[in-house]
Every structure is written in C-alpha cells, then in structure tokens.
C-alpha cells in the first residue's frame, strides 16, 4: 500500500492553527506538525505538544527566517533572502546563531530533539542556509539526525480543471530553490527525506477547490511522498491565507478524506527512516 506522510505547517503561528493541529491529530489525520518557535502563538502551542503522541505524530522545527525569527534582525523579506542566500551574502555567524536558537527553543519546549526540520516558505533548502542547518543538526544530533523535507515536485500531477498556469509553475519554482542541493547533502550526511512534496497550490477556491486539489494530489501520490497542509479552525484577521486555512481544515476533518485515501489504496503515517 502506498503510504504518505501528512504534515501541518505553521504550528504556533496563531491559535486557530494550533487548534486545527490538535483536532486533526486527534482525528488521526496528521502524521507530523512543524513548529514556528518565534511566532505569536508558540507560547500556547508548546502547552499542547502532548496532543502529538510520539510514534504517531512527528513534531519538527519549521525554520523561520522571514516572518518571526527569534532575533528580529534576522528577519528577511523572502525575495531579499533568496538573493542574499544565492550570493552567499548572509552573515554566517548570525545565521548559525539563529538556527541554534530556534533548535534550543524547540528542545526547551518539547524536551527532545525535533523529529524533522523543514522551513517556513521552504527556506531550509536555500544555499548557505542548508549548509548551516545541516552542520548544526549533525553536531547536535549525530546518532539520529532529524529527517529533512524534500521539495521535489510530482511530475505526474494533473492539476484540477480550471487551475491556472501557476499550478504548473509554483511547485517547480519551489523545487528549483534548492531541492537537489539539499538532497545531495542529506544523502552524504545520512539524513532521511520524503520522496516528493504534495500540497502546493495558490490558496484559492475555498473548500470545494481544496477538495479538488486534494483529489489530484492523492491521484499522483507515490510511496514516501509528503502532503503538507496549512489548516486552521477559523479565520484570523491579518493572516493572508486565512480563508484557505479554514477551508483546508474543513476538508481534512471530513469523512470523505479517509474514504478518498482508502479508495486509492493509500495509507498515511510517520515518515519511514
């Protein structure tokens, strides 16, 4: 049976995301959550970590350099970060210290290392960032390093009817930002990764649109793929994808989701390492 790993991103962003993570985990719909330890809702989220049972739901660090890093001076706009990382122009010591600080904050809250590490807006795979990250993980966790998110797109994905050109382009752009470079370094370091990344779309269409995308991702799924989601229970003002988050939670919590998996011979669980 083909097996996916389903991961909710942005744990700690705000209370509605935290609530969705707890609810979906309780329903058995999640296999991983990724935490933003500098975000406004992290103080609440860290009190809820017991809801994610080890062995059933992996808890990882969602490395954040663009929205709420622990050191405000390390906050970069995404475009500026992409350019500076490509040029290897990020201050190396400050980058290292920010990564170490986020890992420290995660361990302080959970009392254990992260099961995995990925990046808010996929920053973990960028040049310079990935090197600093892997060096920190190998130094801190040499016996059992966390698995790392791969962002390779699913070439066999057929987008739902009506999807624009961005549906084809966006996952390929994300991959091009550093998937191959991260994969080479992960293999050399003996760190596991998922096979491909599903769940990339333009955050439009409401619940019906998300349900169509979900069907397309499940049709394309291969063993070892990761399906990311950005669910939230309710819409929080100021969140630019608030409506999409709420739509995702509705679909993922519905009975039709499990039926869709079973009908395609799919299962889901924590990433095999």
CATH number of the domain within which 143 lies: 3.20.20.370
pLDDT tens-place string over residues 55-89: 999 999 999 999 999 998 889 999 999 999 999 99
Q: In DSSP terms, which residues pair with 5 in a beta bridge?
A: 226
Query: Is 254 domain-assigned?
Result: yes
- Residue 226: other Cβ atoms inside 10 A: 27
Radius of gyration of the chain (CA): 17
Residue range(s) defining the domain that contains residue 19: 2-268
The fraction of the chain above a pLDDT of 90, given in percent, is 95
Task: Give this prediction's pTM.
Answer: 0.96
Q: How far is CA 29 from the centre of its chain?
A: 15
pLDDT tens-place string over residues 89-99: 999 999 999 99
Query: Is 218 domain-assigned?
Result: yes
Q: How far is CA 249 from the centre of its chain?
A: 16
Q: How many domains does the chain have?
A: 1
Closest CA to 165 of 175, 173, 156, 176: 173
pLDDT tens-place string over residues 206-261: 999 999 999 999 999 999 999 999 999 999 999 999 999 999 999 999 999 999 99
Any idea of the CA torsion for 267, 230, 34, 7, to the nearest 10 degrees? 10
pLDDT tens-place string over residues 99-154: 999 999 999 999 999 999 999 999 999 999 999 999 999 999 999 999 999 999 99
**In which band, very low, low, confident or very high, does the pLDDT at 166 lie, cut at 50, 70 and 90?**
confident
**In which band, very low, low, confident or very high, does the pLDDT at 164 lie, cut at 50, 70 and 90?**
confident
Query: Is 235 domain-assigned?
Result: yes
**In which band, very low, low, confident or very high, does the pLDDT at 167 lie, cut at 50, 70 and 90?**
confident
Query: Is 273 domain-assigned?
Result: no
Mean pLDDT across 167-193: 96
Query: Is 169 domain-assigned?
Result: yes
pLDDT tens-place string over residues 23-40: 999 999 999 999 999 999
Q: Name the strand (E) or helix (H) holding 248.
A: helix 242-253
Show the tokens assigned to 157: 């994905």
> Any idea which residue has 């990764």 for tokens?
193
Nearest-angstrom CA–CA distance, 211 and 251:
6
DSSP labels, 195-217: S-EE----S-SHHHHHHHHHHHH
Query: Is 137 domain-assigned?
Result: yes
Taken as a whole, the chain contains a residue count of: 273
The confidence score (pLDDT) of residue 200 equals 98
Task: Provide long-range contacts, Cβ within 8 A and 24+ apart, for 254-261.
Answer: 256/211, 257/29, 257/214, 258/29, 260/214, 260/215, 260/218, 261/218
Q: What angle do CA 111, 182, 4 make, to 5 degrees?
A: 65
- Residue 75: other Cβ atoms inside 10 A: 17
Contact residues for 115 (Cβ-Cβ < 8 A; gap 6+) = 32, 58, 59, 60, 146, 147, 270
């Amino acid at each position: 049976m083909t097996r996916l790993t389903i991961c909710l991103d942005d744990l700690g962003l705000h209370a509605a995301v935290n609530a969705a993570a707890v609810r979906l985990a309780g329903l058995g719909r999640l296999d991983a959550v990724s935490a933003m330890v500098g975000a406004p809702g992290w103080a609440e989220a860290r009190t809820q970590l017991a809801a994610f049972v080890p062995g059933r739901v992996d808890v990882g660090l969602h490395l954040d350099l663009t929205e709420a890093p622990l050191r405000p001076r390390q906050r970069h706009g995404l475009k500026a970060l992409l350019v500076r990382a490509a040029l290897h122009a990020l201050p190396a010591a400050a980058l290292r210290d920010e990564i170490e600080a986020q890992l420290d904050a995660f361990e302080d809250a959970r009392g254990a290392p992260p099961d995995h590490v990925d990046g808010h807006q996929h920053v973990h795979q960028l040049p310079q960032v990935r090197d600093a990250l892997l060096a920190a993980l190998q130094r801190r966790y040499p016996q059992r390093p966390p698995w790392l998110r791969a962002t390779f797109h699913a070439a066999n994905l057929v987008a739902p009817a009506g999807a624009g050109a961005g549906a084809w382009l966006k996952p390929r752009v994300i991959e091009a930002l550093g998937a191959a470079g991260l994969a080479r370094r992960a293999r050399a370091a003996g760190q596991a990764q998922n096979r491909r990344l599903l769940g990339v779309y333009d955050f439009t269409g409401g619940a019906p649109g998300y349900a169509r995308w979900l069907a397309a991702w499940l049709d394309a799924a291969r063993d070892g793929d990761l399906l990311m989601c950005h669910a939230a229970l309710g819409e929080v003002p100021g969140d630019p994808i608030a409506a999409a988050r709420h739509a995702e939670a509705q679909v993922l919590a519905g009975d039709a989701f499990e039926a869709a998996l079973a009908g395609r011979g799919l299962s889901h669980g924590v990433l095999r390492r």
